[in-house]
Structure 1
Amino acid sequence: MSKPHTKTYFIKNLPLEVSFRPKVISIDFRPYKQKQELNLLYKHCVSLVEEIKHDYEQHYGKPLKISKASLIAEIWGHLMAYRIALGFKTHLKVWPIQNFAKFAAFRSAVVDCGETKVDTNRWFWDMTAWAFFRKYR
């Protein structure tokens, strides 16, 4: 696999690392755990997706074959799961829940978005986008 191209985006004053590979982008939300920071990331998700899609096309010379709505749906889905997992970690101090929350936070904090041929759950995010994110098409 080729070495990823990485770019840092800034949402207000928050740096956000995005890695680009052919047919895949990865966004790392792990540095952010505060409610205010996560709300800011939600709020600016649309402009972030537009910048990422533009930069992907500039770097690879062809567009990323993931709709804007599907990318937004996947990012929001991961951010929601991440926020819930962080809440469980903070407020539910019971051993099995702590372990599950830690695992869920780790898995949801890095969003790997791939084109249909390389991402086995792209269909889910496409359907979610169709159902809930139509205005972003």
Structure 2
Amino acid sequence: MEKQYNLFNHEIQVHFEPRLVRVFSDAALWAFLENDTGTRFEILVKTIKADYLTHYGAALKISNDSLIVEILVHVYCDYIGLRFNRVVKIKYIQNLVNKLLERAEVVDCGERSVDSNRWVWDLLARYKTAFIKILPKNLNRRKLKS
């Protein structure tokens, strides 16, 4: 099931499967997260989990903080990769980073039974506040791509 959420005038795209949600890390998500990041992450995650419950009749077995940290770290890695490619002008390395960036464009967030690294996000969830603080304040992807 595909959903698009209009949150604060940003179209956030999410794909649902049993025990798994995929959040698209695109310009709309980045723009959505530019202001009041912590609160907006909470709104996004609660919205996703409420729709999951409605659609599947069962709760998504991922804590809010774990889901937030997984999305946040992927967004941050995407940001770093784009910044890296602006600085490093070696075509071979840029191509490699671009392949990694393509993989980071969709954040697969699954329950433990389908996501072998859920334990990592669960472990890092306790540091959610710190991760939010280090997220760059200006994530404007369009500026990074130009």
TM-score by length of 1: 0.83
- Residue-by-residue CA offset, 1:88-128 (whole Å, 9 max, x unaligned): 22232112320122012111121000000000110100000
**2:64 pairs with one of 61, 68, 74:** 68
Sort the Cα spacing of 1:38 and 1:80 in 2 relative to 1 into closer, same or farther, 3 A. Answer: farther
Partner of 1:81: 77
In the alignment, residue 21 of structure 2 is paired with which amino acid?
Answer: I
Partner of 2:90: 94
Alpha-carbon distance between aligned partners in 1 of 2:106 and 2:62, rounded to the nearest angstrom: 17
Q: For 1:117-136, what aligned pairs fall within 5 Å after superposition? A: 117-130=113-126, 132-133=127-128
| Residue 34 (structure 2) pairs with residue 18 (structure 1) | no
- Residue-by-residue CA offset, 1:37-75 (whole Å, 9 max, x unaligned): 274288122210010011100111110000001000101
**1:108 pairs with one of 92, 96, 104:** 104
| Residue 31 (structure 2) pairs with residue 37 (structure 1) | yes
Q: Residue 9 of structure 1 contacts residue 17 of structure 1 at CA under 8 Å; is this kept in 2? A: yes
Give unpaired runs (5+ residues) of structure 1: none
Q: Percent identity, aligned pairs only? A: 37
Higher relative contact order (CA 8 A, sep 6+): 2
Superposition RMSD on alpha carbons, in Å?
2.2
| Residue 55 (structure 2) pairs with residue 55 (structure 1) | no
- Residue-by-residue CA offset, 1:71-90 (whole Å, 9 max, x unaligned): 00101110110101111222
Give the match's secondary structure for 2:15: strand
Aligned residue pairs, count: 127
Give the match's secondary structure for 2:73: helix
In the alignment, residue 133 of structure 1 is paired with which amino acid?
Answer: K
Partner of 2:143: none
In the alignment, residue 14 of structure 1 is paired with which amino acid?
Answer: H
In the alignment, residue 100 of structure 1 is paired with which amino acid?
Answer: L
